[in-house]
């Protein structure tokens, strides 16, 4: 008698994980990651400020009016009934737009490392049963299904270098050779003649200590095995921003 594994059919190799997964890091109720508490307490943790800042007009101003076109590029990648993993909450109504775009037959899995941000996202998505929100670190979260789109929207520039590496590797680990795309939208190295460059230099110096690294380092440089993937980068607004798409190379 032959057991299924002994048939003469060529055996399918289970896809190898590119990088061994880190030990799961479950965030405790109320836990805030130390760099978020130390650097971003006012904008992401303090409830008074969070309430003031969580609006489209703030995102619009912070992104020098480029918010809509970058969000559109993200939303255009989402198919109806798509499965999307979003790495962090974003102020304004982007999470609602993503939930609407996947529709009732799709799935939106959203994680965020800060309890109050999780609560904001949950209340924005209360009407959308296709959306689930977790209090988790994007560096070691695993969504409950296989995403066909993973989006990091302005998260990487806010995390320390080691965390950038962990997040990029964790995202790539969830891309399959048979499909699935990651989209990183973030800061880049602005052209010398772009006046915003000099505003951002000051902002990075005083408020965003982890952002300047993205001016020097390609996002692919944070991956442990970049050559296993196809990377496509597009910049906009005189190189102030980058949108990087990544797919795993076929086996
Ligand atoms: C997406 S980023 C910046 C987005 C943009 N500045 C905005 O308009 O909201 C901000 C979010 O990242 C979250 N965050 C920071 N580190 C994280 C991590 N390791 N995993 C998941 N979320 C994280 C913060 O709690 C915050 O809600």
Cα 18 to middle of ligand 1, angstroms: 25
Give distance in angstroms: CA of 117 to centre of ligand 1: 8
What digits encode the pLDDT tens for the residues 37-87?
Answer: 999 998 999 999 999 999 999 999 999 999 999 999 999 999 999 999 999
Q: Please count the helices (runs of H) and the strands (runs of E) in the chain.
A: 9, 7
CB 103 within 8 A of CB 165: no
CA 207 to CA 200: how far, in whole Å? 10
User: Residue 235: helix, strand or coil by DSSP?
Assistant: strand
Q: Dump pLDDT digits (tens) for 101-126.
A: 999 999 999 999 999 999 999 999 99
- 164 CA → ligand 1 middle, Å: 12
Q: How far apart are CA 177 and CA 228, in angstroms?
A: 10
- Probe target for ligand 1 pocket from 155, 161, 164, 168, with the most ligand atoms within 8 Å of CB: 155
Q: Is 70 left (phi over 0), alpha (psi -120 to 50) or beta?
A: alpha
Centroid of ligand 1 to alpha carbon of 181 (angstroms)? 20
pLDDT band at 16 (very low <50, low <70, confident <90, very high): very low
In the reported structure, the alpha carbon of residue 88 is separated from the centroid of ligand 1 by a whole-number distance in angstroms of: 5
Nearest atom (ligand 1) to Cα of 92: 8
Residue 12 confidence (pLDDT): 39
- What ligand 1 atom has the least distance to the C-alpha of 90? 9
Tell me the average pLDDT of the chain: 90
Q: Which residues line ligand 1 (CB under 6 A)?
A: 33, 36, 44, 59, 87-91, 111-114, 117, 137-139, 153-155, 158-159, 163
What would the pLDDT profile of 205-248 be if each residue is shown by its tens digit?
999 999 999 999 999 999 999 999 999 999 999 999 999 999 99
What is the distance between the alpha carbons of residues 245 and 185, in angstroms, rounded to a whole number?
9
pLDDT score of 11 more than 50: no
pTM: predicted TM-score of the whole model, two decimal places: 0.89
In tens, the pLDDT along 142-188 reads 999 999 999 999 999 999 999 999 999 999 999 998 889 999 999 99
């Amino acid at each position: 008698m032959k057991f299924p594994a002994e048939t003469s059919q060529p055996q399918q190799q289970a896809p190898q994980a590119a990088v061994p997964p880190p030990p799961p890091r479950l965030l405790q109720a109320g836990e805030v990651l130390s760099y978020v508490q130390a650097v971003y307490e006012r904008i992401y943790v303090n409830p008074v400020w969070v309430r003031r800042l969580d609006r489209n007009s703030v995102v619009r101003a912070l992104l020098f009016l480029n918010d809509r076109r970058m969000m559109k590029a993200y939303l255009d990648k989402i198919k109806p009934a798509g499965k999307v993993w979003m790495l962090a909450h974003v102020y304004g109504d982007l999470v609602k737009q993503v939930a609407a775009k996947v529709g009732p037959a799709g799935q939106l899995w959203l994680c965020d490392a800060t309890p109050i941000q999780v609560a904001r996202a949950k209340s924005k998505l209360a009407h959308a049963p296709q959306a689930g929100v977790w209090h988790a670190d994007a560096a070691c979260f695993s969504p409950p299904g296989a995403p066909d789109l993973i989006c990091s929207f302005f998260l990487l520039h806010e995390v320390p270098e080691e965390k950038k590496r962990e997040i990029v590797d964790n995202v790539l680990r969830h891309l399959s050779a048979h499909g699935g795309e990651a989209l990183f939208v973030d800061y880049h190295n602005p052209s010398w003649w772009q006046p915003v460059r000099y505003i951002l230099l000051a902002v990075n110096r005083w408020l965003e200590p982890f952002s300047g690294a993205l001016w020097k380092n390609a996002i692919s440089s944070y991956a442990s095995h970049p050559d296993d993937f196809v990377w496509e980068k597009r910049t906009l607004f005189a190189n102030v921003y980058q949108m990087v798409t990544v797919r795993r190379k076929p086996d």
